[in-house]
């Protein structure tokens, strides 16, 4: 089961407050764990609502403007490492953020003739 809607949570809390069962019985009836129902109930008592909290991800560290600049940097120097690209881009982010931005732009790892990732000699 995914995240329970506000309506389901409100019905479950109303059923408990009307005395239609114990917390365990109400939780079982609505198909959630008792600790989940207790969190709903606790939040409802504290704030007056038990609706789900907003969910989402952090925004990308490399925004659209920097992504365009990153793409230009890759065209100018296609052999640059992620760390070098980050440095030339001039923003404070991780190497992984640069990697993710390049993936969003459609870039993939450069492969050598044997099928492995390309790497410099002596590493």
Residue 86 included in any domain: yes
Q: Is 99 part of any domain?
A: yes
Domains contained in the chain, number: 2
Q: Distances in Å between the alpha carbon of 64 and those of 50, 60, 67? A: 36, 9, 5
Residue 120 lies in a domain: no
Q: What is the pLDDT of residues 43-82, one digit of tens each?
A: 999 999 988 888 888 888 899 999 999 999 999 988 889 9
Closest CA to 105 of 64, 77, 76: 64
Structure tokens at 22: 């114990």
Residue-number span of the structural domain to which 24 is assigned: 6-47
pLDDT value for 111: 63
Q: What region does 14 belong to: left with phi over 0, alpha with psi -120 to 50, or beta? A: alpha
Model's pTM, two decimal places?
A: 0.50
């Amino acid at each position: 089961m995914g995240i329970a809607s506000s309506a389901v949570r409100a019905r479950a809390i109303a059923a408990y407050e009307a005395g239609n069962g114990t917390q365990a019985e109400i939780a079982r009836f609505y198909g959630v764990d008792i600790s989940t129902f207790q969190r709903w109930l606790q939040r409802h008592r504290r704030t007056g609502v038990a609706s789900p909290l907003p969910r989402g991800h952090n925004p990308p560290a490399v925004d659209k403007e920097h992504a365009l600049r990153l793409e230009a940097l890759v065209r100018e120097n296609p052999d640059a490492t992620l760390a070098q690209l980050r440095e030339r881009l001039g923003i404070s982010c991780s190497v992984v953020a640069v990697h993710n931005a390049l993936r969003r732009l459609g870039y993939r790892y450069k492969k050598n003739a044997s099928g492995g990732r390309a790497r410099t000699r002596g590493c």
